[in-house]
Amino acid sequence: MPTQPIEAIAAALFAAALIHTFSTRLFERLARRHARHAGLFHLLGEVEVVFGFWAMVLIIAMALVAGGSTAVAYAESRKFTEPLFVFVIMVVAASRPVLLFVQAALSLLARQLPGRSEVTEIWLGLALVPLVGSLMRAATCWWPARWQAGA
């Protein structure tokens, strides 16, 4: 089965997006090193931005290769409710007030549990925080479906 050029380009862009995802730490270092372009490097270092950025590159590549109407039709055929909701949740969860609250809550909970509070806090951070993140992710799947259903 012959592959169309846009499929090969999309696969290459997906590979670049994956590499970019695992390189976000590099972009954060570049942001600290090069003050003049710190904003751009910091933006490219945000994991939440990576796939949105590469999706934009895909649409532009599609417009150049297959035509603007094909790219617009493809973009309009996708539902962005859940990804946008996840993006908003991620941005809110990464905000300074939320991070400070989570740190304070973990410290308080760690002091209430037996054992050294520093070790307990680390274990809670490794176990409880990802679990809550997974629950938030499950909620993002459930809520948009209810909104679309008109409930």
Mean pLDDT over residues 124-145, rounded? 73
- Please report which confidence band the pLDDT of residue 148 belongs to, taking 50, 70 and 90 as the band edges: low
Q: Which domain holds residue 36?
A: 1-78
Q: Please tell me the predicted confidence (pLDDT) of residue 26.
A: 92
Q: Can you say whether the dihedral through the CA atoms of 131, 50, 87, 89 is positive or negative?
A: positive
Q: Please tell me the predicted confidence (pLDDT) of residue 37.
A: 86
Mean pLDDT of all residues in the chain?
82
Last residue of a domain, one of 15, 49, 78: 78
Q: Please tell me the predicted confidence (pLDDT) of residue 1.
A: 53
Last residue of a domain, one of 60, 78, 96: 78
Q: Residue 149 to residues 74, 84, 145, 146: CA-CA distances in angstroms? A: 24, 17, 6, 5
Least confident among 23-27, 56-60, 80-84, 111-115 = 80-84
pLDDT digits (tens, 9 = 90+) for 58-103: 999 999 998 999 999 988 898 877 777 777 777 777 778 888 888 8
Same domain, 85 and 144: yes
Helix (H) or strand (E) holding 79: none
Structure tokens, 151: 């409930």
What is the tally of structural domains in the chain? 2
Question: Who contacts 131 (Cβ-Cβ below 8 Å, separation ≥6)?
Answer: none
Same domain, 1 and 74: yes
Same domain, 59 and 112: no
Over 90: is that where the pLDDT of 35 sits? no
Over 80: is that where the pLDDT of 109 sits? yes
